[in-house]
Structure formats: structure tokens, C-alpha cells
Chains A and B, each alone.
Chain A
């Protein structure tokens, strides 16, 4: 080994502290950054009928002559073909509406659990977490059985005489929303519960003491103080729903356009790996935007003080 190099060997300097801090960096590097760089590389390649189905970057033209080919065609196609734009916008719309609905359903649930007697809280939380014991895929499949034309829901509603004709829910956007809200509700409830349980009850007493009726205590004290939980829960729902593929594929009809489903189609049906990679890269950028915005907003809040 080169003696001048061995003196600078970073491994030799690794202390316990360095290892501890280094471990997550290593993890992120190997399991996130590296694959992502592969995706970027793939997205800049050209699709071809071969194995693997794309042309390499570096190609040998003639003997010894090598050329580097970078293809931005996949990205320009994403911007030119309205299908991809529509899929992206429709994903944002579905994710935003689903996030709002989970928030509206999840907040009262989280609030009720946080306000429940101490002995009740753990069992109630267990009920929220319990569905995770069953495979996600099976749970989504179960919704087909519930929502289909002669499924449990329609049978029940017909049996009760509430409807004359079975409702067409399965393979519509409604079914997708039901599936998403159902599947992602725990991700909204848990962070909300975590902030609400830490809320100091004497703050509400102080507000009451200063002349604030209960509904206004909620608006002026509880709601602003649970904002971090609302944001955390919303991100935990919004981001994965944006890339959601299983639910729209199983419960949505052909009209349900979502970027995750599109990506799957490009990758497996059309064998267009580079285009699917370009889609993945664009999705990542789109998802980073709310994060950056939030951080900016948070900093501004701190600056103002």
C-alpha cells in the first residue's frame, strides 16, 4: 500500500462516534442515493429491444473509438405528451383530496383517543394499528369484495331497502379514495395522537379562565399547537399516495390516472425502463417541493420571533 495514503486512511480514524454518525449516511448512500443515481442514469438512456432493455451510455462506434450518448428524449416526452402531465396532476389531486379526507376523519379519532381515559388509550391505539398485522395487499383485495356490484356493501344496502339498484363503486375514483383513506388513516392518526397527547391541559384551563368557551379553545389553542402533527401526518399520507400503485390498480377503473400506475405500465408492459425512470425522477422532484416549502416557511416563522 502507498504509505502516504495509509496515513490518511479514513478507516483508521473511525471512532465509535464516527461510526454511529456514519451508519445512517452509509445507509442513505447505499440504499437511497446510489439507486437514485442508477435511476437518473437509466432515465438518460435510450430504450431498446434488448436485455436489459436500454442502450448503454458509453458505446463503441468503431474499433477503439468510444462515444458518450446522453438522451434527454425521455424528459422531453414527459413534457410533450399530455398523458404524463395529466397523470401527475391527477395524482396530486387524488393525494391532496385523500390527505384532506384522512385529516378530517383522523383528527377527531386522534383527539378522542388522546382525551380517552388512560386505560383506554392503549387498546384504542392497538385497534388503529391492528390492521397492519394483515398484509396491505389482502386488505385492499378485501375492499373489492365489499365494494363490488354484488358485494357486501350493496347486499347490505339492498337488504335494508336503502337502494333499489346496486351502486357502482368498484372501479371508480370513489373506490380509489375509499381504499386510500382506509389504508393511510393510521399514518395520519398516529402523529396527530403524538402531538395531541403532549398538549398541556392547563393551557385549555388557562384559555377557559380568560373567558374562552370550549369551541374557541379548540381553535385558538388545540389546533395551532397540533399543527406539527397535522403537517407530519399530511406528509406521511400525501407522499406515498402520490406514488401509490396498488390501490388505483386494484380498485380504480381504467379512467383512474395515477403516476404510480403509469410508471408500472411503462416499466412492465411497455418495457420502457428509461421513460419509467424519468417519471420516477420527476415524481421525486415534485415531492421534494412541499418539503422545501415547509422548511422555508418554518425558518421564516423562527426568524419572525
Chain B
């Protein structure tokens, strides 16, 4: 994201208090035009409250929200240049599909001919032209989702808010719809802000993700960076699976840090740009797919350990192996199954030697 660009949405120190509880606690965020931005987090992290404040259904206790430089904090929902797709879709049960989509256009008193044309365009966009006369209760879940999307897009909003847009769909349809949403967003150039609890969904669709926890932002980054360079244990653990090792800093030679851990005798080595203090308690995070099985020759080298395979989960494309170290600590690693078949297959109780590069793991301070 280039810094010269002006944000389309600017959230400044926004908090929302319900009773004594802070649902959103001093969040500041800038979202830029054309982004597919995800608010990701477990339930109760405040992501929905933040979205509802953007839509205007909740008023921030403190802080301001700007859209295109205009302060919209006190603007009622019906005056905001934002539309929202609701988690429950909230289709009007007494109106046909076409009338649902036309609802917003009627509010702005668009002439009938133009309105009909826009409704037709929207229905084509989400491929539901044949359903124009149906009522919501005559539609399947996937069709309803499309109507909700068409209705929210009909007014050509600057920003579209989507609350768990794929939450009610089954897995197969969800995967397909993910790509359709991304294509649609790229084609229309509208800024999408999505709330989701599903990290895979966020990873697939987003240009950037804000990971939230207990009303605060943990990390804001592109999916790749969030995965490769988590800034704390929480985000490392939330996105994908990872091995977390408690470690203590021994020495730092330029960027190469050497550490010791209770999990095994061998020293750990990680690259870390910031200066560290010896004997500092830190966490080393290693993704399972970055661990390789090696010959048991160099077991005294750093980042090389030995253990016994205790569990194997076969997932088709990859297998996950749980390895028990002599200390009792378990380490996970994954191997693509093409590789597993080519080499000698690994099985239960096999003794393996594992190794990883110092630049393929992360040192986390908190």
C-alpha cells in the first residue's frame, strides 16, 4: 500500500463501551480505496461492533470515523455512502428478488427506467436474472447470498461492508464464492471490508487483514506477511498451525541469534533484526511445512533435532506428523505426499531427524 494514497476509511482512536466492557478498545485503522480488507478474529473480539460502527448502527463511545475525509461519526446509517451485506442476509421477506435489489434505488428516487436497468445489471452480475420474481423463502442459501450481495451493490456504494459473507454457505460453495467475491471486487473497484472468523477465508480473499483480539488490533498486514512474519504468539497461533518454543537468548551475532530451549538440547538459531538482551525470554515459532526430514548425521547442529513419530494425519495433499522429542515436547511437521511416496514412507514409531533453516523461523517477543 503506497503511503501517498489517501485512505477512504479512517478510523481514529475508536472505542465502544457496552456497560463496563470495551467491545472495541482504541482502534485506529486506515483503509485505502480498492482494498479487500478483512477484520479477522475469534468471536467477541469486537470485529462486528467495529463493522456496525462503520455502517452507523452503533455510535463510538469515543473516537471519530472518516470516509473520504468527511467525518461520518454522527451520520445516521441511511445517510452514509456505505452499504452492508448482513450475515443473515436480512432480505425483505415480503418483496421479490427484484424489489429487494431495487429497494435502495427507490430510496434515492431513481427514475424507473434507470432503476429497472440497474436491477437487471445487478442480477446479471451475480447470475440470478432468472430468479427476479421469486420471494426470498423460495431461494436456496446460496441464491439468497447472491441477492443480498446484489442488493448491497445496487447503489454503487464507495464501500461495501460484508458481515461473515460466506458464513451460512456449505464448504464447497464457500470456496467457489470466495473467488467470485474477489473477482467481483476487482471488477467493480469498490472497497470491501469483510468481517470473518475464518482465517482461511481471510487469507484467500483479502489484500490486507487486521487481526483483532479483545477489542484491540493485534496485527495489520497482507496475508503473506501475516503468515510469514507474525508479530506475536497470538497472531502466529491464530493463522495456520505453528510450533511455538519457549526459548532464552544466549547470544546475538549481527542478526543471527542463538538461543536455548527446554524442549531439546541442541541450540536454536534465528535471524532477528532488532538488538536483544542476553537471557531474555522469547518465543521461537516454526511453521510445520518449513521443517524437513534429514539424515541423522548432524544431530548436534543448531536447529536439528531427533524424535519419534507418534501421530500421522493424512490430508490427501499433505500429511501432518507429530514427533515426540526426548523431553516429551511434541513438534509438528508436514510433508507433501508426493515427497512422502517418493522417499521411504514415514510411519508410526519411526525415529526421524528434523531440521530447519535459521531464516525460516521467527523470534517473537510477546
Question: Interface residues, chain A, CB within 8 Å of chain B?
Answer: 200, 202-203, 205-213, 216, 220-221, 224-225, 305
Contacts and interface: CB of A to CB of B under 8 A. Distances in A.
B220 interface: no
B104 interface: yes
Interface string B168-199: 00000000000000000000000000000000
B90 interface: yes
Interface string B129-140: 000011100100
Contacts of A221: 92
Interface of B: 55-57, 76-79, 82-84, 86, 88, 90-94, 96, 103-104, 107-108, 133-135, 138, 151-152, 155
A209 to B, nearest CB: 5
Contacts of B94: 224-225
B78 A225 contact: no
Nearest to A202: B90
A220 B95 CA distance: 10
28 contacts: A200-B90, A202-B86, A202-B90, A203-B90, A205-B55, A205-B77, A205-B86, A205-B90, A206-B91, A207-B92, A208-B56, A208-B76, A209-B55, A209-B56, A209-B78, A209-B152, A210-B103, A210-B104, A210-B107, A211-B78, A211-B79, A211-B155, A212-B78, A212-B107, A213-B76, A224-B94, A305-B135, A305-B138
By DSSP majority rule, is chain B's interface helix, strand, loop, or mixed? loop
B83 A209 contact: yes
A209 B138 contact: no
Most buried by B among A206, A207, A212, A220: A206
Contact of A305 (B78, B90, B133): B133
Contacts, number: 62
A211 B93 CA distance: 18
Contacts of B96: 305
A211 B104 contact: yes
B93 A208 contact: no
Contacts of B135: 305
A208 B138 contact: no
Nearest to B87: A202
A263 to B, nearest CB: 41
A221 B99 CA distance: 12
Most buried by A among B83, B86, B90: B90
Contacts of A216: 107
Contacts of B83: 209-210
Q: Please list the 9 inter-chain residue pairs (A to B) with the smallest Cβ-Cβ separation, ordered nearest first.
A: A210-B104, A211-B107, A206-B90, A208-B77, A202-B90, A208-B78, A209-B84, A211-B78, A224-B94
Contacts of B91: 206
